[in-house]
Structure 1
């Protein structure tokens, strides 16, 4: 991989890591969308790198904050993720063979929908959702994680509706993404889908991920949570539309 690809990819990773550390979501959608829009590397390659950097981001972000986690909801959500994750990986392998335009179109629709869901910002529920809702949301997220390493849209919508503290919501999301990324890397490895280039590139991204996760925790932007969400969903909608137009 040449510098003309490596430098912009790492810059996208750095920006997305900062956004995810602040908001609890968007790393996968921003990286996958921007990298695909600029045709830097294939979707399958990007998915593995996203999984690796999400893992590192999650480990650093939740360090020292376990007390704020809702372990029960995290575990229920993760229980729904694993079987759907494998199904998404199998479909990605199939589409990557001969249907690149269709794959890009599906990616664009997913990112656009994710941006719209984040934009809706429904009123928080008075009581937490039933356990079954978390499991179903986890299954949907697992399928998207298998396809694009983007578990965010259904989980963000669900957790931001819960009557939890904002810190708990963010840490639950980051924790689930961490578990999901670990499972995806293991499954891809068993499928024989990990290459030396993927591993090397992931290692090169780790210092940048660690630094911008620390920056996000230590120096959040002078914006309200509402304005950060507006920025995130606006960016995702633009990326999603550009991908759909490019695929068509």
Structure 2
């Protein structure tokens, strides 16, 4: 193994540790941060990183959730799950039917919607006065699943929906971590079914899990001293970056 390969592997481990800390504090971000950075810096092939992220997300959830399940609004999570699971498959099927140009246009529109909603929420980060109905959580699951199936990014609709609720940050974090764990489980089972979880992925997972575990425990014991409003602003700020990323990547695909 070359020195460059070793440095890339260490950088990926450090990135996963940092992303795991962020996800444990906010409830989301592990997959989006790791996949975005791995793509931007060319740390590893995206297909293998995506499979690795799904497995370490399960490890992060297994450490972050014990002792916190009583904080979860199970009606909200249940409604989101009902929308999420079938729409992931629908997103994959829809992507197969769309042409490259149509897919790019849809990606730009989705990015613009995420950008607009997140900017508006970041400027006024106070939660809603009343909890949304189950229909709102169901729709956030539907759109999250479609994004996951088409572009591999399921977070924005779910994050936006939960962070706008009059929930405590603990309730939000636990609900999102659980939802993303279910998404990661589906992806891992799908990857295993297609024979994409080779021995190299399992070796990488074995090295990554200790870093993820340490970061997750550190986040549970030593969360950053920031207010609920600041945490909401950070969450919506990350969504702004994701919206911009979707739009820029679609335009870049057209130019190439």
Q: TM-score, length-normalised on structure 1?
A: 0.81
Map 1:164-243 onto structure 2 (within 5 A).
Answer: 164-231=167-234, 233-234=236-237, 237=240, 241=244
- C-alpha distance in 1 between matches for 2:63 and 2:242: 27
In the superposition, relative to structure 1, how do residues 94 and 53 fare at CA in structure 2: closer, same or farther (>3 Å)?
farther
Give the counterpart of 2:37 among 34, 39, 44. Answer: 34
**What are the equivalent positions in structure 2 for 1:62-77 lying under 5 Å apart?**
62-77=65-80
Query: 2:118–2:239: 8 Å Cα contact kept in structure 1?
Result: no
2-side partners of 1:204 and 1:94: how far apart? 38
2:152 is the alignment partner of 1:135: no
Gaps of 5+ in 2: none
Change (3 A) 1:112 1:25: farther
Instruction: Judge conservation of contact 1:112–1:237 (CA < 8 Å) in 2.
Output: no
Shift of 1:145: 2.8
Cα RMSD for the two superposed structures: 3.2
**What is the rounded CA distance, in whole Å, between the counterparts of 2:113 and 2:38 in structure 1?**
18
Between stretches 204-213 and 191-200, larger displacement belongs to 191-200
CA distance in 1: counterparts of 2:115 and 2:15, whole angstroms: 18
Q: Do the aligned residues in 1 keep the contact of 2:118 with 2:240 (CA within 8 Å)?
A: no
Aligned length: 241
Distance 1:91 1:44 in 2: 20
| Alignment counterpart, residue 151 of structure 1, candidates 151, 154, 168 | 154
- Which has the larger displacement, 114-123 or 16-25? 114-123
Q: Which residue of 1 aligns with 2:89?
A: 86
- Relative to 1, partners in 2 of residues 1:78 and 1:232: Cα closer, same or farther, differing over 3 Å? closer
Which position in structure 1 is the counterpart of 2:19?
16
Q: Secondary structure at the match of 1:200?
A: helix
Q: Tell me the CA shift for residue 6 of structure 1.
A: 0.7
Hey, what's the Cα distance between the residues in 2 that align with 1:196 and 1:154?
A: 34
Q: Distance in 1 between matches of 2:48 and 2:117?
A: 27
- Mean Cα deviation higher: 62-71 or 184-193: 184-193
> Is the alpha carbon distance of 1:143 and 1:135 closer, same or farther for their aligned partners in structure 2, counting shifts above 3 Å?
same
Q: Supply the distance in 1 between the matched residues of 2:30 and 2:83 (Cα, whole angstroms).
A: 21
C-alpha deviation, 1:13, in angstroms: 0.8
| Cα distance, 1:236 vs structure 2 | 6.0
